[in-house]
Amino acid sequence: MGFCDFIVEFTAKKRNFQFPLWDSRPHEFPLRFLFTPLKGSLIYLIRNLLKCFTASDKPILQNSKLSYPKIKKKLLNKKENITVLFVDRLDLDRNFALLREEMEARGGISEDLRGWSWIKNSRVKPLSEFKLSVSEVTHRYCPTYRDIYLKRIAKVNAPPSIKTIRGIAYHEVFHEASLKIKQFIYNNKIISGGDLLSEFLPKLEEFSERIVSFSENRTFKLKQFEHDMLKRECYILYRYLIIQAASKIDAVLSKYRFINQESLVNEVLPSISEKKVDGSLVGFSKELSVDIYTPFNAIADIKTGDIRNFHRHILAAYALAIESSERIAVDFGMIIYVKTDLERQVPYFKIDYFIIGDELRIEALEFRDKSFEILTVAKDPGKPLQCPDYCPYFLYCNPQLAAMKALEYG
């Protein structure tokens, strides 16, 4: 990365910062530096950068050629997949700092297992022209890889389950809550946490019903009691996120007397942004969606089901894809497990922080190579000695149980 690229990337990521020694108010980089076309002059870059450190207390929009509605539209259109209202940003940074120390004590990650080493004759380089999605390769429900054969060769799609619908619904709750909180902040000049609660809490029943119906439309129609149960789960999760956001709004406003709406959004919603990645260089799909926590280039994933051994391998595959496409080192991952307690009416979150080290990378590559072998041979590998009951193809491979399930379902 050249110096000019570094300056642009640095300012883009660090627009909000403080000078606590002499002023409690947040200063911000002038938007004209970020959006005015660069004139190719190093002097021009340095002059604009220095202006950031001598910024006046004027609102940011007075230094910008962009109108407020245009900025608001640009920010609201930016897709963010995970809003970490349920975890403190300081906790995230502390956990990743500890992992960095541990990784350095281990001696780092082998260069031959970085995604960018595909160009060499290393084990990262795919030995086949097949391109598979990360989920196909790493969701190792079936020990014999029969799921790969059924989907790709036999053209049998796995039947959706209530777990599938729950995953879709929970992700939609996270995304919609984030968007509505942003819209509320940008559309109201004077706000408080109480205003947010008054605006959204009466509407949560309607929001939850719409989200469950949307999830059913993408999969299949639930039984009424399952529909009602999932709607209640979404309501509890949605309510929790709104209450957490309201609390953070009041905490930020009480800390900073002078804060604009963009800074408030960044303080209330420290999000993990979605990035599109080309994984074809290491044998994965050309268009992957990855969630990245940028301060540490850590990647994240939300899971609404049980903890599985292969979940870490999913992020190892994404790390290889990012490194191959972007040549950015990805060393850390976090998996966010979400469950809703209907009795206590609160969601529970468990976060698994880990180093995406050599062992995980080797195993993810072994999954990939074995999947390619199944497709090359194009022969049914058969069922394992014992099918895990959480495999999406469990009922297909065990038709006698499928018949019993059909009778039960009516």
pLDDT of residue 66: 38
pLDDT of residue 24: 32
Residue 369 tokens, joined: 């190579």
pLDDT of residue 404: 66
CATH topology of domain 102-158+272-394: Lambda Exonuclease; Chain A (3.90.320)
E strand or H helix at 338, and its extent? Answer: strand 332-341
Give the pairing of strands 332-341 and 346-355: antiparallel
pLDDT of residue 262: 87
Flag residues of the chain having pLDDT under 50.
2-81
Contacts of 235 (CB under 8 A, 6+ apart): 204, 205, 208
pLDDT of residue 249: 93
Contacts of 372 (CB under 8 A, 6+ apart): 126, 127, 128, 130, 132, 283
Distances from the Cα of 21 to the Cαs of 11, 18, 25, 28, 53, in angstroms?
21, 9, 11, 16, 14
Residue 228 tokens, joined: 């009602």
Query: Could you identify the residue written with the tokens 């220095």?
Result: 50
Residue 333 contacts residue 109 (beta carbons within 8 Å): no
Average per-residue pLDDT for the chain? 80
Residue 98: φ, ψ to 5°:
-65, -40
Q: Is the dihedral of CA 352, 248, 345, 212 positive or negative?
A: negative
Give the pairing of strands 298-303 and 332-341: parallel
The residue extents of the domains of the chain are: 3-66, 102-158+272-394, 162-268
